[in-house]
Amino acid sequence: MWGMPTPPKVPVEERLFSLVLALLATEHGLTKSDILSTVQGYRQRYAHGGDNTALERQFERDKDDIRELGVPLETVAEPGQTDNQQLRYRIPKSAYELPADVHFTPEELTLLGLAARVWREGSLSADSRRAILKLAAHGELDPVIGLAPRLHTRERAFEPLSRALERRAIVTFPYLKPGESEARVRRVRPLSLVQHDGRWYLGAFDDDAGGERTFLLSRISGDVTVTAHTFPGDDVDHARATLDDLQRLWDQNVARVTVEPGSDAEVRLRHRAEVEDGALTIHYVDTNVLADELAAYGPEVLVLSPPRLRDAVIDRLRAAVERHDEARPDHEAAHG
């Protein structure tokens, strides 16, 4: 490569921006060699009649980056054409632009700004940050005074699972089912991520169980592996369906408990319970998850019904006593 002048360095965003502009401007599409030889950021590095493998790989990555932003970069093939080099690329304006009838009122923009900022921590913050930039083109995103709600996606599993959802890739992960103390590896087709009553769930089709199941993200006890196996999509609104299932369980399951007057349990459970005949009624999704929570209140709560919940709470209290009354762990290792 001696004697070749070093091409001037074009910043990534300039190359990507130029690619989007060129593909928006073309009606019939540009071939890969059109793009590499003429578009700003590629043309500087294009070898006429030479080897452009590295540049082609760059183009492939750029296409992915652009599509990830929601830009509809299309491939057009002429009928009967088999040569990859003759594929044409373009971005149809109608699919790129927001539909003409989609407008946001100032009140809606304020709400959307609040909704986007809900994600300011965690895995979705890159998407919400870009959503805020796009919204800003429509008007002012005034912050709402005195309000800072936040959704955490602190669970480690969130990020790989949302990636798998986009790709429709099968995942595996160890799962510590509520009420059990050993994790078991699951292999599932992820269908939705939902938060119900403050807890994140994965809705998925479990091949081994032969049906749809929900998994608590906080109970995924190790790394999520996104496999290369994909599965076909459908047009079911899985997020809505999972949320509806959880809500149905929540409506059905009712616990009756009594609380010590003036206790922590009384103050806190009252915020989400109804009072009936001197007892509190609490709706819940999963017996084991509520049992964990109620066991924490120790003597401040007495579970009246259902019996399964009552037994689950007693089991936990017993286990806590046994574990700390008899076991004699060596303290040295704890500090080692």
Partner 1 sequence: MAEQQLRGQDKLTLLLTLVPYLVERGRVGVAEAAEHFGVTPEQLREAVTLIAVSGVPGQTRQYQPDDLFDIAWDSFEEDDEIELTHLVALDETPRFSAPEAAALIAGLQYVQALPENAERPAITALMSKLARGSSGTPSPLAVGGGRPDATLGVVREAIEAGRRLEFDYRSSRGESSRRTIDPLRIDSLDRDWYVRGWDHAREASRTFRIDRMSEVRVGDEPATEASRRVRVPDHLFEPSPDDVEVDVEVPAGALALLGGFVDSQARIVEHDGRLRLTLRLAHHRVLGPLASRLAGVLTVLGPPEARRAVVEWAQAGLRRYDDDPAT
Site for partner 1 in 180-239 (CB under 8 A): 180-181, 183, 191-199, 203, 218-222, 235, 237-239
Binding to partner 1 in span 10-39, by CB under 8 A: 11-14, 16-18, 20-22, 24-25, 38-39
Binding to partner 1 in span 51-90, by CB under 8 A: 65-66, 68-72
CA distances (Å), 232 to each of 150, 170, 209, in order?
33, 11, 19
Binding to partner 1 in span 126-165, by CB under 8 A: 126-134, 136-138, 140, 145-152, 154-156, 162, 165
Tell me which residue has tokens 């992960």.
173
CA distances (Å), 199 to each of 51, 196, 243, 290, in order?
53, 5, 11, 12
- Round to whole Å and give the CA distance between 154 and 313: 27
Query: 200: burial class by Cβ within 10 Å (0-12, 13-18, 19+)?
Result: buried
| Least spacing, CB of residue 43 vs partner 1, in Å | 8
Interface with partner 1, residue 336, by CB under 8 A: yes
Looking at 9, 184, 229, 272, which residue binds partner 1 (CB under 8 A)?
Answer: 272
Interface with partner 1, residue 279, by CB under 8 A: no
* Piece in contact with partner 1 (CB under 8 A), picked from 1-9, 48-56, 76-84, 297-305: 297-305
Interface with partner 1, residue 308, by CB under 8 A: no
| # residues contacting partner 1 (CB under 8 A) | 136
* Piece in contact with partner 1 (CB under 8 A), picked from 49-57, 78-86, 207-215, 314-322: 314-322
Q: Which amino acid appears at position 168 of this protein?
A: R
| Least spacing, CB of residue 191 vs partner 1, in Å | 6
For residue 182, what is the DSSP state?
Answer: S
Contact between residue 189 and residue 234 where contact means Cβ atoms under 8 Å apart: no
Nearer to partner 1, 54 or 98 (CB): 98
For residue 270, what is the DSSP state?
Answer: G
CA distances (Å), 239 to each of 190, 193, 311, 318, 331, in order?
11, 7, 33, 38, 47
* Piece in contact with partner 1 (CB under 8 A), picked from 82-90, 207-215, 224-232, 310-318: 310-318
